[in-house]
């Protein structure tokens, strides 16, 4: 299944993309793509629906983040050896964990907002996965029991805030609209192998990143086991798994986003995103 959330920011409704690509309204069945809906029983209920009986949604409404009421957005840094090399650091011996503020989460086609004074806002296409059944100290062998599905994430980053002066990754990763999620949540049964997916990102139509999740240092199964050693994972939590090489920071010379540019990105089988780059003070209110 492809589950979506559509409508104005803060008032999104749950939906489903049917086999013909039509957006169907799920608000008569569930209140949101969130919480217990993401448990195995909740997803089984949705899978049993006849999509043709659900109301169609006219037009092309805005898509919100594909998961609602996210408890936490956990990210894995430097998870591709080539990306670690372009960042000038050795590949990590253990997963690097950081959090993005939930206020950074936005829809897949919402604009990237350049913070006031930003000169080094960067792009990062990533595979993200959503927790269904939660848990603590999850065994690596049981990882698949805990994944509700997968989606695309752009881990937008302000490198000066992240790495310069006092640094701090969370500070550099958490500005508003720095975590577009979607366009849809693809349930785990549709992704045969999360370690065999191509990722790509373009800026103004020029390819900047091209990679494959098979080159991750720590695959999804290891990430779940490792992260759950340090915190309880709950239904609807999102974990973004790192980016392949080709970020702006790694260019020679470094190249960062500017007002007026357009970023497009995607992951095989999970859809694509498109974001206009605008200044914070030009954001739609």
Span 232-257, pLDDT tens digits: 999 999 999 999 999 999 999 999 99
Number of H helices, E strands in the chain: 5, 18
CATH for 277: 3.90.850.10
DSSP 110: S
Closest CA to 78 of 88, 67, 92: 92
Q: What are the distances in angstroms from CA 260 to CA 43, 198, 242, 268? A: 40, 27, 26, 27
SS3 category, 114: strand
Give a yes or no: residue 18 inside a domain.
no
> Measured on CA atoms in the order 83, 86, 92, 97, is the torsion positive or negative?
negative
List the domain range (segments joined by +) for residue 104: 65-282
- Please determine, for residue 87, whether its predicted confidence score (pLDDT) is greater than 90: no
Q: How confident is the model at residue 71 (pLDDT cuts 50, 70, 90)?
A: very high
Q: How confident is the model at residue 167 (pLDDT cuts 50, 70, 90)?
A: confident
Give a yes or no: residue 180 inside a domain.
yes
Give a yes or no: residue 210 inside a domain.
yes
Q: How confident is the model at residue 88 (pLDDT cuts 50, 70, 90)?
A: confident
Give a yes or no: residue 45 inside a domain.
no
Share of the chain above pLDDT 70, in %: 100
Give a yes or no: residue 22 inside a domain.
no
Distance (Å, rounded) from C-alpha 43 to C-alpha 48? 9
Quick one: pLDDT at residue 247?
Answer: 97
- Please determine, for residue 274, whether its predicted confidence score (pLDDT) is greater than 90: yes
- Please determine, for residue 68, whether its predicted confidence score (pLDDT) is greater than 90: yes
Total structural domains within the chain: 1
The residue assigned the tokens 């253990």 is 94
Q: What is the chain's mean pLDDT, rounded?
A: 97
Share of the chain above pLDDT 90, in %: 94
Closest CA to 135 of 150, 147, 118, 153: 147
* Whether the model pTM is above 0.85: yes
Give a yes or no: residue 33 inside a domain.
no
Q: What is the pLDDT of residues 169-200, one digit of tens each?
A: 999 999 999 999 999 999 999 999 999 999 99
Q: What is the dihedral of CA 136, 142, 145, 149, to 10 degrees?
A: 90
Give a yes or no: residue 40 inside a domain.
no
Give a yes or no: residue 24 inside a domain.
no
Q: How confident is the model at residue 84 (pLDDT cuts 50, 70, 90)?
A: confident
């Amino acid at each position: 299944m492809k589950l979506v959330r559509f409508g104005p920011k803060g008032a999104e409704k749950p939906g489903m993309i049917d086999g013909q690509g039509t957006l169907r309204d799920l608000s008569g069945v569930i209140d949101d793509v969130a919480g217990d809906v993401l448990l195995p029983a909740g997803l089984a209920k949705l899978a049993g629906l006849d999509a043709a009986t659900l109301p169609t949604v006219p037009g092309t409404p805005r898509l919100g983040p594909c998961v609602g009421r996210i408890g936490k957005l956990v990210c894995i840094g430097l998870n591709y050896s080539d990306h670690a090399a372009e960042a000038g650091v050795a590949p990590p011996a253990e997963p690097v964990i950081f959090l993005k503020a939930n206020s950074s989460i936005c829809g897949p086609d919402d604009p990237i907002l350049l913070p006031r004074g930003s000169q080094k806002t960067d792009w990062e296409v990533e595979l993200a996965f959503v927790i269904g059944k939660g848990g603590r100290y999850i065994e690596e062998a049981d990882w698949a029991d805990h994944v509700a599905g997968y989606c695309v994430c752009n881990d937008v980053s302000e490198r000066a805030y992240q790495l310069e002066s006092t640094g701090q990754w969370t500070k550099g990763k958490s500005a508003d609209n720095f975590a577009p999620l979607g366009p849809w949540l693809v349930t785990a049964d549709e992704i045969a192998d999360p370690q065999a997916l191509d990722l790509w990102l373009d800026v103004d139509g020029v390819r900047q990143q091209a990679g494959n999740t098979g080159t991750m240092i720590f695959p999804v199964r290891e990430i779940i086991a490792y992260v759950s050693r340090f915190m309880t994972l709950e239904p609807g939590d999102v974990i973004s798994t790192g980016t392949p090489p080709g970020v702006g920071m790694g260019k020679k010379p470094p190249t960062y986003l500017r007002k007026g540019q357009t970023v497009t990105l995607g992951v095989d089988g999970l859809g694509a995103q498109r974001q206009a780059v605008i200044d914070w003070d030009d954001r739609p209110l």
